[in-house]
Chains A and B, each alone.
Chain A
Amino acid sequence: MNVMSFLSLIIKNPFRNRTRASLAIVGIAIGIATIVALGMVTGGLQASTQSTLKAGAAEISVAKIGSNTFGSSGGTIDESVAIDIKNISGVKDTAGILRATANVTSVTTTSSSSSNFGPMGFSVSGIDSTKLSLVGIDSVNGTSFSNEGLNEIILGKSLAQNLNKTVGDSINLFGTDFKITGTYETGSFIQDMGAFISLSKLQNLTSNQNKVSTIVVKVNDNANVTQVSQTIQNTYPNDLSATTAADQANRINQSLGVINTASWAISLLAIIIGGIGVINTMIMSVFERTREIGVLKAVGWKSSRILAMILGESIVLTLVAAVIGIILGVVGVEIILNLLSSTGSVIKPVLSLDTLLRAFGVALLVGVIGGLYPAYRASKLAPTEALRYE
């Protein structure tokens, strides 16, 4: 048997009826594009979650009971608690963070570029600038803000892009002009869509003197994070709740699991709908080529070769659809997220090998499921009946 000649036949045959093949491909490609798009968004969120667990950052987050994970709403804690927690065994360092939501309504700029955006809210955190590493900011592009009462601010990379701001520009927050001294990137899309200023400055601007929203805790290298977290919890039983970064990541991952389940459900739907489409296409193709299949049998082709040919043609259709679907998915996600980025949502989509394998796996499965029955029928055609077919 000549494999190349046979493969070339399998690749050529599905496109004999171009309209029908194109319609089948479009149907499957849309399913694949959805799988890829969801996979990329989930991947981006997962990567962002992973970055919250990065080395150097605090492992425990302490907030008032009833406030949300990021401490941006709910009660405040007295700043002195951060010093008390630092004295607990196993704790290496702590940092109090005050969080507030700022609305940008007017912007002044020293650069030539002008900004044109509507009112926009984002999270501003106040922290001691020497403790930025505890929130995952290892380096600042430019310089960090001063703790000495100057109106200085550093912006997350995504926020800076959205606001069309760069180092040296100014930004008006809480009725005060701040000079942007630097930008940072942590990989966490929530963090990178925020800004940091000195803790005392934010406390003054929001009338929260000596108060913080969250205390982040870095433990000693040899300490057990869960145990330290439990000790903090036991020290302030009815007042504070301590959450480890791993717990937070797990919670986010559970939410991502919902998206992942939806992605699998769409995969299943794509398999069913795509499979039916392929069955229809291939059955029509077999009907039209009944006489031809009779000829192939007459010249000595085995039933297994005819089965392989029709199945191969079905797989070719779905693999072409997979390639088109992946391109559609990637381009679609980029376009949609670019549009959404102007409203403040910045997820960095990640095209992982897992997503690609799933796309091709689904396409292959659709090809096999959709092609199996028509291929079986073709292989079982009686040569004399097939040759008589008009």
Chain B
Amino acid sequence: MNEEENIIEIKDLKKSYDNGKIKALNGIDLVVKKGEFISIMGPSGSGKSTLLNMIGALDRADEGSIGVAGIDLMESRDLSKFRSKEIGFVFQMHNLIPNLNVLENVEIPMFETSLSSKEMRRRALELLGAVGLADRVDQNPTKLSGGERQRVAIARALVNKPSIILADEPTGALDSKTGDIILKLLKDLHTKEQVTLVMVTHEPYVAQMADRILNVLDGKINEQKKDESDLSVILKKFKQKA
């Protein structure tokens, strides 16, 4: 394994809840290369969101080892610094702060950095431009459509220039048309910003956009063979099915 190339290295990772009665992760082994786009699929309760939380250092594992962006997450104490620097989260529900405007929502992750307010504003505006919301910066999130809110959430996830974007069903709460736009945006930003993208999804056609598809079942990973068609063909197939 080339350590410089691998941004995520997980070995025999275990996590259980309810005094060990529920085994959410039951010996996960995973290596993700820098700049890769990974889709994680699986039924509800299979452990895919738990795995995402472990990678994002939102939760700690019980056993095994997990290294992300060169940080040993089993040992590291200051996980907030790691999250601020290395991880960008995109949730199913955008989770924007309702009393802050679009620009302020994007600036929020930069509070833990040493950036000046001018630089914070510049970065936030640049990203809002990249997600097509340059004209909505002063709007309150409640005035935006679902797709627009998710675009703000994507800008927020990218604003600290993280190594990895963790997206937990980013299109789950959107209609298919808006979902497609968001997926395309995520894929484009992943390519443009050269950021590693790990996405949890229920939708097989969404998963097909990734470089690799991982199936999580009963807390274990099985790698699935990917349809090699390009994105437009995949989307077309899906729409025909629908």
Query: Which chain A residues have a beta carbon within 8 Å of chain B's beta carbons?
Result: 1-2, 4-6, 9, 12-13, 16, 291-292, 294-303, 305, 382-384, 387
For this complex, 5 residue pairs linking A to B, each with C-beta atoms less than 8 Å apart, are: A2-B110, A298-B56, A301-B80, A301-B84, A302-B112
Question: Which residue of chain B lies nearest to A383 when distances are taken between CB atoms in the complex?
Answer: B58
Tell me, yes or no, whether B100 is within 8 Å of chain A by CB. yes
Query: B10 contacts the other chain (Cβ, under 8 Å)?
Result: no
Question: What are the 5 tightest A-B residue pairs by CB atom distance, in nearest-first order?
Answer: A300-B84, A299-B109, A300-B83, A383-B58, A295-B95
Residue from the list A5, A16, A298, A382 in contact with B89, Cβ < 8 A: A298
Task: Tell me the nearest residue of chain A to B96, going by C-beta.
Answer: A295
**Which residues of chain A are near B117, meaning CB under 8 Å?**
2, 4-5
Chain B residue at minimum C-beta to C-beta distance from A306: B80
Counting CB contacts under 8 A, is B19 at the interface?
no
Residues of B65-82 whose CB lies within 8 A of A? 80-82
| Given A2-B115, A296-B108: 8 more A-B contacts, CB < 8 Å | A1-B112, A2-B116, A13-B99, A295-B95, A299-B108, A299-B109, A382-B59, A384-B59
Question: Is the pair A5, B109 in contact by a Cβ cutoff of 8 Å?
Answer: no
Residues of B contacting A16 with CB < 8 Å? 98-99
Q: B107 interface residue, CB < 8 Å from A?
A: yes
Q: Which residues of B contact A291 (CB under 8 A)?
A: 95
Known A-B contacts A382-B59, A384-B59; A300 and B95 likewise in contact (beta carbons under 8 Å): no
Instruction: State in angstroms the CA–CA spacing of A298 and B97 once bound together.
Output: 13
> Is B58 in contact with A299, judged by CB distance below 8 angstroms?
no
* B156 CB–A CB distance under 8 Å: yes
B111:A384 contact, CB within 8 angstroms: no
By the criterion CB–CB under 8 Å, are B58 and A292 in contact?
no
Residues of A within 8 A of B6 (CB): none
Residue of B111, B113, B120 with highest tally of chain A CB at under 10 A: B111
Contacts of B115 in A (CB 8 A): 2
Query: Which chain B residues lie closer than 8 Å to A4 at the CB level?
Result: 117
Once the chains bind, are B59 and A383 in contact (CB under 8 Å)?
yes
Contact across chains for B99 and A2 when beta carbons are under 8 A apart: no
Contact, CB under 8 Å: A12 / B59? no
Contact call B112/A305, Cβ cutoff below 8 A: yes
In whole Å, how far is A382's beta carbon from the nearest beta carbon of chain B? Answer: 7
| B residues in contact (CB < 8 Å) with A | 53, 56, 58-59, 80-85, 87, 89, 91, 95, 97-100, 104, 107-117, 120, 156, 160
Separation of A382 and B85 alpha carbons in the complex (Å) = 19
B114 surroundings in chain A (CB, below 8 A): 1
A301 vs B56: C-alpha distance when bound (angstroms): 13
Q: Which of A5, A295, A298, A382 sits near B111, CB closer than 8 Å?
A: A5
Q: Are B95 and A6 in contact (CB under 8 A)?
A: no
* Complex CA distance for A13 and B99, rounded to whole angstroms: 7
Asked if A300 and B99 sit within 8 Å, CB to CB, the answer is no
Q: Which of B59, B97, B99, B111 interacts with A1 by CB under 8 Å?
A: B111
| Cβ distance A260 to chain B, nearest Cβ, rounded Å | 43
Quick one: closest B residue to A297, CB to CB?
B80
Q: Are A300 and B85 in contact (CB under 8 A)?
A: yes
Q: Which residue of B lies closest to A300 (CB)?
A: B84
Instruction: Tell me which residues across on chain B come within 8 A of A302, comparing CB atoms.
Output: 80-81, 112
Q: Within 8 Å CB of A5, what residues of B?
A: 104, 107, 111, 117, 120
Contacts of B113 in A (CB 8 A): 1
> Whole-angstrom distance from the CB of B103 to the nearest CB of chain A?
11
A384 touches B58 (CB 8 A): yes
Per the bound structure, the CA–CA distance linking A298 and B153 in Å amounts to: 12
Say whether A301 contacts B99, CB under 8 Å: no
B70 to chain A, nearest CB (A): 17
Contact yes or no, B112 A303, CB < 8 A: no
Interface centre among B85, B95, B98, B104 (most CB of A within 10 A): B95
In the bound complex, CA of A302 to CA of B87 (Å): 14
B32: min CB distance to chain A, Å: 19
B125: min CB distance to chain A, Å? 14
Q: Please, which residues of chain B bring their CB within 8 A of the CB of A300?
A: 80-85, 87, 109, 112, 160
Given contacts A1-B111, A1-B113, A5-B120, whether A298 and B58 have CB atoms under 8 Å apart is yes
Expressed in whole angstroms, the minimum distance between the Cβ of B166 and any Cβ of chain A is 9
A303-B112 Cα distance, complex, nearest whole Å: 11
Chain A nearest CB, measured from B105 CB (Å): 10
Asked if A387 contacts B58 (CB within 8 A), the reply is yes
Chain B residues near A382 (CB, 8 Å)?
A: 59
Asked whether, in the complex, the Cβ of B116 is within 8 Å of the Cβ of A299, the reply is no
Report the bound CA distance from A5 to B118 in whole Å. Answer: 11
A2-B115, A298-B89, A387-B58 are contacts. A292–B95 as well, Cβ < 8 Å? Answer: yes
Chain B, Cβ-Cβ closest to A3: B117
Which of A299, A384, A387 is the one whose CB lies under 8 Å from B156?
A299
A296 neighbours in B (Cβ, 8 Å): 108
Asked if A2 and B58 sit within 8 Å, CB to CB, the answer is no
Cα-based distance from A134 to B198 in the complex (angstroms)? 92
